[in-house]
Amino acid sequence: MSILSLSLAFLLLFHGTCLALRPFQQTQNQCQIQRINALEPNERVEAEAGFTEFFDSGDQQFQCAGVEVIRHHIQPQGLMLPSYINTPLMVYILQGRGYQGIMLPGCPETFQSSQQAEERGFQDRHQKIRHFREGDMIIIPAGAAHWMYNDGQEEIVAIVMLDSTNEVNQLDQFHRRFFLAGNPKRSGQETPEEGSGNIFRGFDLQMLSEVFHVDQETASKLQSPDDTRGHIVMVERGLQVVRPPIRIQGPANGLEETFCSARFTANINDVSRPDFFNPEAGWTTYLNSFKLPILQMVQLSAERGVLYNNAVMSPYWMTNAHEIIHVTRGNMRMQIVNNEGQAVFDDMIQEGQVVVVPQNFAVIKQAQEQGCRWISFRTNDNAMMSTLAGRTSAIKAMPVSVLMNAYQMSPEQARSLKNNRMETMMFNPRSRY
Amino acid sequence: MSILSLSLAFLLLFHGTCLALRPFQQTQNQCQIQRINALEPNERVEAEAGFTEFFDSGDQQFQCAGVEVIRHHIQPQGLMLPSYINTPLMVYILQGRGYQGIMLPGCPETFQSSQQAEERGFQDRHQKIRHFREGDMIIIPAGAAHWMYNDGQEEIVAIVMLDSTNEVNQLDQFHRRFFLAGNPKRSGQETPEEGSGNIFRGFDLQMLSEVFHVDQETASKLQSPDDTRGHIVMVERGLQVVRPPIRIQGPANGLEETFCSARFTANINDVSRPDFFNPEAGWTTYLNSFKLPILQMVQLSAERGVLYNNAVMSPYWMTNAHEIIHVTRGNMRMQIVNNEGQAVFDDMIQEGQVVVVPQNFAVIKQAQEQGCRWISFRTNDNAMMSTLAGRTSAIKAMPVSVLMNAYQMSPEQARSLKNNRMETMMFNPRSRY
Amino acid sequence: MSILSLSLAFLLLFHGTCLALRPFQQTQNQCQIQRINALEPNERVEAEAGFTEFFDSGDQQFQCAGVEVIRHHIQPQGLMLPSYINTPLMVYILQGRGYQGIMLPGCPETFQSSQQAEERGFQDRHQKIRHFREGDMIIIPAGAAHWMYNDGQEEIVAIVMLDSTNEVNQLDQFHRRFFLAGNPKRSGQETPEEGSGNIFRGFDLQMLSEVFHVDQETASKLQSPDDTRGHIVMVERGLQVVRPPIRIQGPANGLEETFCSARFTANINDVSRPDFFNPEAGWTTYLNSFKLPILQMVQLSAERGVLYNNAVMSPYWMTNAHEIIHVTRGNMRMQIVNNEGQAVFDDMIQEGQVVVVPQNFAVIKQAQEQGCRWISFRTNDNAMMSTLAGRTSAIKAMPVSVLMNAYQMSPEQARSLKNNRMETMMFNPRSRY
């Protein structure tokens, strides 16, 4: 009973956020794509302790999907300054580890320093801090301020998908980042100039001083007019925060939590817990709102996919979502086919490249010699995949006589089409022939 | 308790699909319509065993409602080839009977052949097949592959409404059909040419052969390059499928079902079970998400309406939906009035014609001598109708003194306006005068 | 158990209405605002017993928020004629009292005259009538016909926010009012002319007479072609309706009600029941869908705010909504800052003026000598506010070491920034220094 009530409250809470619709314009026939190219970043913004790469938001395939993709590189002891954005984010940690804060308005400061720490002069109390590591997918709601710190030994590489056409974004058709600190360069700028400041720059200094009840020197530091470090800054002796020892998070069911303790992270890189596994072909893990309830709020999902050498993924289409695929290791050949039976993409996609598969377009993926790994973002929190070959495919679901008549085949041919491939999702052609 | 949990899961499942928003552009002021015309199909695509008629998707009234309308004609033993579309469909069976398959990804093949059948060499196992008959409304979710077969003695006539602006369509402002088989002609094409193939045409033949683990001849039949039968093909000796005997479906409450056994069909042509009935004027049956839960997913509803000779429907407006009216027998006079008090339509609508009533526009319908039947599609799963005359009308809901002052009437006139017409929805003026 | 079932039904009911999506176009980059101005009405439409003021719907800040604002002035014994609109409305009663009817299709006429009244010749029965008074916020769903009457001694002043981009509006990017009576002048018209009639004007007179079963004279009064009183008319001896004695409504929990008895009104002007209160700075009351469930259907919320003389509101941004602020008494200085750190507004906003704060833009408000009161409409039914200073702010939520490194501060400065201002939302700088 109380669980049900809570779940209702949960639904209500999410609705409030989800249903607030202010749609933004997309230019007409955005997905009438005749040709898709594998994309690499076309711009880079440097900072003291790292850099961010931008994929071209104006490219037709991103316009079709209504999303943007960027990639952060954060050096060890690098701190990405706090900021918030008008779109929800999915952040995939491709490499490295660290921790981050997502500031939720009205939630309590639950992390407080121990008595020993206070005796040593270190005293603090702040909101929850979340560890992350390679393979984590982090969800950041629209408008939520957040920062990120690298406390590991290697560079953090984070692939970020920004869902510009999400209904919670009522502001703009592209993402806009509001910095709470620093004086960062922006994409498209050569040097830090007027107009690239953080939000405190726009306020009157005297008023800031009154509001925070601090002296003018402190208030002027909020505005940081002379900061040249950029959006990722170096923390000289490492960041000191209150935090528990690192451990891998256990499963959650989404009902015992309130919004303040909601889970924003899940690891999808663990080969020991895949959703699909074929020892000869590869494995995949899905992350949708049944696993991570916050995804219902942002209406997005993801897949981590691995194909072993030469393995093939069953041809499929997504029934209700676009798919944004970023290859993270190796490469694969992809064919993407539109409703006129034409291949709009028939090429290799290499490590570090991105391709968008529009909703309903049919796809085949085949890994090359060294195999292939990718992360795929999907524009629906329960994106559904319909396969064409294998045990759970549309072809298998049809009666033999429908296949015979549709394809003008003999009964034997129709049966072989339906039954020869009994694996579910991935095959290794070589191991079967 | 378990019923409630299930219903919550149901809600969650549907939400995942419903809330994924990628709106598409409509040109500005689409519904600033000064003149509406009754439409007939303006194009026809022929096939071996039938044809499809298209209403002009570019017409202003369809642009306003954000929908498209087509009409299939399938001959006895005709099979409409499997395909999927980027919009949800509502298919009203105006005439004929048959069965259809909707392929749901991941759902089991629950229909399997009996031992006797297997002894006779007919062996198969496939997903559920659904009978349909005259008066059925079939709901097909966006991206779900489906086929349809005529096993009756007369031509099937199916009126199809495609909801292009549905939020689950993230692809295009018009519908796009992805064929799984054949080499169909498309709307706008004179002859089957390059680019009109099914989705297998875009894939490499060798890869198809590997993926399905079949020989190249079978794989090449998937691509069907030389098929000239079009999108509806003749099944020479009739289709053999595993299926239970035909029976009329009983009522369902929507809670005992999982998605795989969800009901996609309801009959709304049964005069013995109307929602409103007036023996002197006519009857109507509504189909909304309270009756057929899948409608919550596609956010559409429908009405089957019948007016007897010379009967009148109370003037009304739809508070939260557009209405797409297709007359299926007889004819009626309609008046449609905009917010400036101007009639944008004041004409007869004949059998086979379509008219769109924009949201909030006021309407009167009067059947002619032979009466009138229609099917009405509505762009909201709980479309609400507000009537102006009769027992449940807005006029009846107002105090007499408001009417007196609003219309500068005597108390007697106000009372007669409120009380003279005590029927609810439909009247027969002649029988009352 | 029954409460839960009811709440599910409630959710289902609301969904039906909420999820029906037909988005309308907004021109590109609507919120790329470089300059915001405080607005005053730029048009006025006069009527016999009052007038309506219109703010310029074409102004960039309204285009950004996707809303419109108007202001009604209704004299004592003035009746605003019944009408309905294609958008949901929030109506804030700034001054005066009266009662109103919202006609809900299919709901019963629950107010009926007493036997004594009938003996005196006054006999009536109609739908529920709702009292309203100063400080009430009234919600009117899209397409719901409604009227309003002033039974008090002073002019009613009502501030109305029309949510044109609400998903239930499938009709037009601006609001359109459909009058059920009168022959009102419209915005943009000098004199009542052709085309400004109520919806009955577009219907055939003979058909109206048949439909209502009244004589032609009564029917022609429905069309009111010669009515010159405009949209607010004088009721000479006062309106006589069936109604209970006025009382202030008690709290409701939203579950014991059906749609027909749903609550559409809440008072948010009661200083004895604020959500936030600081005796030195001011108070605010929120109205969201947790308090008034109907707000979930219209996806809007509101705030009543009061700052005492010279008090300041903590700088904040709305994470998921635009904010439309109407000052109702006094004035305040506002600074609004965009994502480039530029103040797009730095000015006084006076009584009667309106300013839009776009989603995610940062704001500071400071009342002047005489204090300031405002009403704020928000385009999300659970709009969330993230403050920058004070106990629950983003700055307070961050570790000291993050602040030190982000702002290049000493530990002491970071601690003072975090801890010097311990109030939550509003401060009085003078009282603290």
For residue B233, the tally of other CB atoms under 10 A from its CB is 23
Burial letters B29-41, b for 16+ CB under 10 A, else e: ebbebeebebbeb
Q: Which residues of C touch B321 (CB under 8 A)?
A: 20, 170
Whether chain C has a CB inside 8 Å of the CB on A151: the answer is no
> How confident is the model at residue C192, as a pLDDT?
45
Q: Which residues of B touch C169 (CB under 8 A)?
A: 359
Say which of B176, B202, B242 has its CB closest to residue A399.
Answer: B242
- The string of pLDDT tens digits covering residues A311-348 is 999 999 999 999 999 999 999 999 999 999 999 999 99
317-336 in B: which are within 8 Å (CB) of C? 317-322, 335-336
Q: Which residues of A touch C379 (CB under 8 A)?
A: 20, 22, 170
SS3 A300: coil
d(CA A276, CA A304): 11
> How confident is the model at residue B191, as a pLDDT?
52
- Alpha helical stretches, state H, B213-362: 216-223, 294-298
What residues contact A199, with CB distance under 8 A and at least 6 apart?
Answer: A178, A179, A180, C317, C337, C339, C341, C362
Whether chain C has a CB inside 8 Å of the CB on B169: the answer is no
CB spacing of A16 vs C405 below 8 angstroms: no
SS3 C283: strand
> How confident is the model at residue A112, as a pLDDT?
72
Q: Sorting pLDDT into bands at 50, 70 and 90, what band is A13?
A: very low
Give me chain C's average pLDDT, please. Answer: 85
Task: Pick from A7, A19, A84, A148 the residue to mutate for testing the C interface (most C CBs within 10 Å).
Answer: A19
Chain B / chain C CB contacts < 8 angstroms: 264
What percentage of chain C carries pLDDT values higher than 70? 85
> How confident is the model at residue B251, as a pLDDT?
43
Nearest CA-CA distance, residue C347 and chain A, Å: 12
Do residues C49 and C232 touch, judged by C-beta distance below 8 A?
yes
Q: Which residues of C touch A181 (CB under 8 A)?
A: 406-407
Q: Long-range contacts made by residues C57-61, C-beta under 8 angstroms, separation at least 24?
A: C57/C164, C57/C174, C60/C30, C60/C33, C61/C33, C61/C36, C61/C37, C61/C355, C61/C356, C61/C358
Strands B130-133 and B97-103: antiparallel
Nearest CA in chain C to B19: C19
Question: Within 13 Å of residue C66, how many CA atoms lie on the same side as its CB?
Answer: 34
Whether chain B has a CB inside 8 Å of the CB on A21: the answer is yes
Residue C80, pLDDT > 50, answer yes
CB spacing of B320 vs C15 below 8 angstroms: no
Nearest CA-CA distance, residue C66 and chain B, Å: 14
> How confident is the model at residue A381, as a pLDDT?
93
> How confident is the model at residue A191, as a pLDDT?
52
113-132 in C: which are within 8 Å (CB) of B? 124, 126-127, 129
Residue A30, pLDDT > 80, answer no
SS3 B136: strand
Whether chain B has a CB inside 8 Å of the CB on C248: the answer is no
Cα C425 to Cα A103, A179, C421, C428, distances in angstroms: 16, 21, 10, 10
SS3 C111: strand
Residue A16, pLDDT > 50, answer no
Nearest CA-CA distance, residue C372 and chain B, Å: 38
User: Which residue is associated with the tokens 């319909």?
Assistant: A386
Q: Which domains does chain C have, with CATH numbers?
A: 33-246+254-265 (2.60.120.10), 269-427 (2.60.120.10)
> How confident is the model at residue B192, as a pLDDT?
45
Residue B295 tokens read as 């409608």
CB spacing of A105 vs C392 below 8 angstroms: yes
Say which of A170, A211, A221 has its CB closest to residue C407.
Answer: A221
> How confident is the model at residue B26, as a pLDDT?
36
Residue B421, pLDDT > 60, answer yes
Task: Pick from C28, C401, C413, C416 the residue to mutate for testing the A interface (most A CBs within 10 Å).
Answer: C401
> How confident is the model at residue A188, as a pLDDT?
65
> How confident is the model at residue C194, as a pLDDT?
45
- The string of pLDDT tens digits covering residues B245-278 is 654 444 443 333 456 777 889 999 988 888 899 9
Q: Sorting pLDDT into bands at 50, 70 and 90, what band is C32?
A: confident
- The string of pLDDT tens digits covering residues C108-151 is 777 777 777 667 666 787 887 889 999 999 999 999 999 999 99
Q: What is the rounded average pLDDT of the residues A138-144?
A: 95
CB spacing of C167 vs A21 below 8 angstroms: yes
- The string of pLDDT tens digits covering residues A282-318 is 999 999 998 999 999 899 999 999 999 999 999 999 9
CB spacing of C339 vs A233 below 8 angstroms: no
Give me chain A's average pLDDT, please. Answer: 85
Q: Which residues of B touch C176 (CB under 8 A)?
A: 339, 360
Whether chain A has a CB inside 8 Å of the CB on C35: the answer is no
Q: What is the rounded average pLDDT of the residues C349-369?
A: 96
More confident residue, B355 or A13: B355
CB spacing of C4 vs B4 below 8 angstroms: yes
Whether chain A has a CB inside 8 Å of the CB on C174: the answer is no
> How confident is the model at residue B433, as a pLDDT?
40
Say which of A4, A144, A180 has its CB closest to residue C319.
Answer: A144
CB spacing of A66 vs B242 below 8 angstroms: no
Q: Which residues of A touch C429 (CB under 8 A)?
A: 210-211, 213
Q: What is the rounded average pLDDT of the residues A369-395?
A: 93
> How confident is the model at residue C430, as a pLDDT?
73
Q: What is the crossing angle of helices B216-223 and A411-419, to 10°?
A: 90
DSSP assignment string, A338-398: -TTS-EEEEEEEETT-EEEE-TT-EEEEEEEEEEEEEEEEESSTT--EEESSSTTSHHHHS
CB spacing of B227 vs A25 below 8 angstroms: no
d(CA A153, CA A76): 6
Burial letters A31-64, b for 16+ CB under 10 A, else e: bebeebebbebeeebebbbbbbbbbbbebbbbbb
How many residues are recorded in chain A?
A: 433
More confident residue, C370 or A115: C370
CB spacing of B178 vs A66 below 8 angstroms: no
CB spacing of B399 vs C239 below 8 angstroms: yes
Whether chain A has a CB inside 8 Å of the CB on B201: the answer is yes
- In this prediction the pTM is 0.87
CB spacing of A144 vs C386 below 8 angstroms: yes
DSSP assignment string, B10-33: HHHHHHHHHT--------TTTT--
Give me chain B's average pLDDT, please. Answer: 85
Interface partners of chain C (CB pairs < 8 Å, 3 or more) are A, B
- What is the ipTM score, two decimals? 0.85
> How confident is the model at residue A363, as a pLDDT?
96
CB spacing of C317 vs A5 below 8 angstroms: no
Q: Which residues of A touch B16 (CB under 8 A)?
A: 288-289, 296, 380-382
More confident residue, C52 or C108: C52
- The string of pLDDT tens digits covering residues A240-277 is 887 766 544 444 433 334 567 778 899 999 888 888 89
CB spacing of B203 vs A362 below 8 angstroms: yes
Q: Which residues of A touch B186 (CB under 8 A)?
A: 340
What residues contact C368, with CB distance under 8 A and at least 6 apart?
Answer: C309, C310, C330, C331, C332, C333, C348
